Structure 1
Amino acid sequence: MEAHPPGLTIRNVSKRYSNAVQALTNVSLTIPPGMYGLLGPNGAGKSTLMRTLATLQEPDEGQIVLGDIDVVNQKEAVRQTLGYLPQEFGVYPKASAEELLDYFAVLKGITNRAVRREATEALLKQTNLWDKRKQKLGGYSGGMRQRFGVAVALLGNPRLLIVDEPTAGLDPAERVRFLNLLSEVGENSVVILSTHIVADVAELCTNMAIIDKGQILLEAKPLEAVAALKGRIWRKLTDKQSLPALEREHRIISAKRLSGRTVAHVYSPESPGNGFDPVEPDLEDVYFSALTGCFGQTSQQPKTEGIAL
């Protein structure tokens, strides 16, 4: 039987930049093989953590281990088995996808021409770019460029694949194609999806963490985290003028405009009163509950095995 690829362990990682910004504070995560979502708002510390895992910068303290590799002290060993798709990456607009992928394969150490040709063909087909392999990258759509980035990241069959904000700016059809591709990749590697888009994590990831201001607020399985909120999310239709008063009286986790009215979601272990309707929670409610500090702040919090509340 083939052994599963090893997971990633992060223990007490902290990072402070020279401008005194504390980007990460005692971050600890256990990331198994498969799709893992790192969810948080812009500026939460996601990209700092991704760059640290990708050996582009060192933490001030803490330990990171990929299987038997010490990520901080064995950078070259990590890079040999790492695929990294940053939030923004450049391409040579006048090169074709086939030419540039072949070039990156050489840089990755695939020197045998036949092996390289086989690898680039397989990856271009996997990312659904084979029919466009001769087209110049400057003419690619945003989604096509992202899929090309995945093809580059997958060279050498990495044990760890990091993708940072990959669906930002993609149209709905391209986003679906991209997420389907990541789902296939996640069957054989540790894949970390760093994003502020809740739906990406809800659709793809079997494990997740929520980060804000450099700290982990919640580490959970998405379905279990949603189940832990059952019976605790309430909905009320209100207006913009009444919202401040509602905020003073209740623990509002989110508010959205809908057909000229405001729909407020409130966290409460029991009914907040007249005018509130119970809501079946979803991962967006989990996200906002974590960001507003509602998880684990009541003695009636349900005990859910496997969820860090």
Structure 2
Amino acid sequence: MIPTVSASGLTLRFGGTLALDDVSLRLGEGVTGLLGPNGAGKTTLLRVLATAVPADRGSFTVLGHDPGTTAGRLHVRRALGYLPQTPGFHQDFSAFEFVDYVAILKELTDRTARHREVRRVLDRVGLSDVRGKRIKRLSGGMRQRVALAAALIGDPGFLVLDEPTVGLDPEQRMRFRELIAQAGEGRTVLLSTHQTEDVAMLCHRVIVMDAGRVRFEGTPAELTERAAGRVWSSTERDPSARAGWRTGTGAFRNVGDPPEGADLLEPTLEDGYLLTLDAKAAEVAA
């Protein structure tokens, strides 16, 4: 894998909280999913990579540019598309006006060329028919697509998406997945999410974070494999299971260390994720 993004030893503390603890990673072309519980450091990592906040220690490059220098930081920002968890919409702007405003901030100074680019990205996310509509009158799914269009301005080589499907209904999530998959063709996308289903369906690679550290980095299949032989079915919740719940069939799905002779089930990526976090908890307890 030829890395678009290469980070080494990123460390950042907010007061008494170690938000990033010696984080190193490499991101290549395609969609990489970033999983972790609340407070894991996911959003902090995205903000550092987006040059919104500097790390206390460590370094990283984006497309060969070092944001530790003024010139390098400018190159990174020009090559970056960033969709934050809470986009700062100007509610009285139309969809076109908002994306055009972002295009101006990204130094697209030629008005004719800029407007052509704004129309291109709005068409890319399926909003051409409502580009004149005020953002405050758009649905939640449409607002997220406006934010994605703004992130796609200038055809960035590195796209950072923080919880882009949060609050969307199943149909909206499905359509947004399609847009993210298309965005990952020919560029690097880092997708932070709580939805393991999104990662399983979209991502070429996955990173699991907890307590500011990377706990796993590999393919979705490799994360799923961590749960092989450790998921089983029973008529009652097994008290020895790390996690267990009643499914729609009435049987219990248990994750952990199965008893001898247990009825083993095929693991999912979510199972591997839960066991990865459980292994970290056991390490801390020890």
Structure 2 Cα separation of the partners of residues 204 and 260 of structure 1: 28
2:79 is the alignment partner of 1:81: yes
Question: Could you say which residue in structure 1 is the equivalent of 2:245?
Answer: 256
Residue 15 of structure 1 pairs with residue 12 of structure 2: yes
Tell me which amino acid in the other structure corresponds to 2:8. R
Among 129, 137, 143, the residue aligned to 1:139: 137
Q: CA deviation at 1:264?
A: 4.3
User: 1:279 corresponds to which residue?
Assistant: 265
Taking only the aligned residue pairs, the percentage that are identical comes to: 38
Shift of residue 119, structure 1, vs aligned partner: 0.6
Going from structure 1 to structure 2, the CA distance change for 1:260 and 1:176 (only over 3 Å counts) comes to: closer
Q: Is structure 2 residue 103 aligned with structure 1 residue 95?
A: no
C-alpha distance in 2 between matches for 1:177 and 1:5: 29
What is the Cα deviation at residue 39 of structure 1?
A: 0.5
Give 2:259's aligned amino acid. P
Match for 1:63 among 29, 38, 59?
59
User: Partner letter of residue 21 of structure 2?
Assistant: T
Structure with the higher fraction of residues in helix conformation: 2
Report if the CA contact (8 A) 2:30-2:204 is conserved.
Answer: yes
C-alpha displacement of 1:230? 2.8
Aligned length: 281
Residue pair 2:224, 2:273 contacting (<8 A) in 1 also = no
Structure 1 counterpart of 2:231, from 233, 242, 264:
233
DSSP-derived class of the 1:193 partner = strand
Is contact 1:5–1:189 with CA below 8 Å preserved after alignment?
no
Is the CA contact 2:215–2:276 (under 8 Å) kept in the aligned structure 1?
A: yes
In the alignment, residue 272 of structure 1 is paired with which amino acid?
P
CA deviations on 1:12-33 (whole Å, 9 max, x unpaired) are: 1111112x01111111111111
1:51 aligns with 47
Equivalence for 1:291: 277
Q: Counterpart in 2 of 1:266? A: 255
Does residue 1:175 correspond to 2:161, yes or no?
A: no
The equivalent position to 1:42 in structure 2, one of 27, 38, 41, is 38
2:147 match: 149
Mapped partners of 1:21, 1:122: distance in 2 = 42
Counterpart of 1:29 (choices 2, 9, 25) is 25
Q: Quick one: which amino acid aligns to residue 10 of structure 1?
A: A
1:205 Cα deviation from its structure 2 partner: 0.2
Q: 1:109, 1:294 → 2: CA distance?
A: 44
- The two structures have a TM-score, normalised by structure 1, of 0.85
Shift of the alpha carbon at 1:60? 1.3
Q: Which 4+ residue blocks in structure 1 deviate beyond 3 angstroms?
A: 257-262
Q: Which moved more, 1:225-234 or 1:197-206?
A: 225-234
Any stretches of 5+ residues in structure 1 without a counterpart? Answer: 298-309
Look up the SS of the partner of 1:70 in the other structure: coil
> Residues 245-292 of structure 1, C-alpha deviation per residue, up to 9 Å, x if partnerless?
x23xxxx33222446968342333xx5135x31010110111001010
For 1:157, the aligned partner's letter is: D
TM-score (structure 2 length as normaliser): 0.91
Distance change >3 Å, CA 181–CA 5, structure 1 → 2: farther
User: Counterparts of 1:21 and 1:294 in 2: how far apart (Å)?
Assistant: 18
1:46-94 per-residue CA deviation (whole Å, 9 max, x = no partner) reads: 0010111111111111111113111333322211111110000121222
**Secondary structure class of the residue paired with 2:279:** coil
**1:237/1:220 Cα in 2 relative to 1: closer, same or farther (>3 Å)?**
farther
Q: Please name the residue that 1:303 is paired with.
A: none
Q: CA deviation at 1:212?
A: 0.8
Partner of 1:306 in structure 2?
Answer: none
What CA deviation, in whole Å up to 9, does each residue of 1:132-173 have, x standing for no partner? 111111011111111110110111111111000111111111
How far apart, in 1, do the equivalents of 2:273 and 2:150 lie? 31
Measure the CA separation in 1 of the matches of 2:62 and 2:100.
27
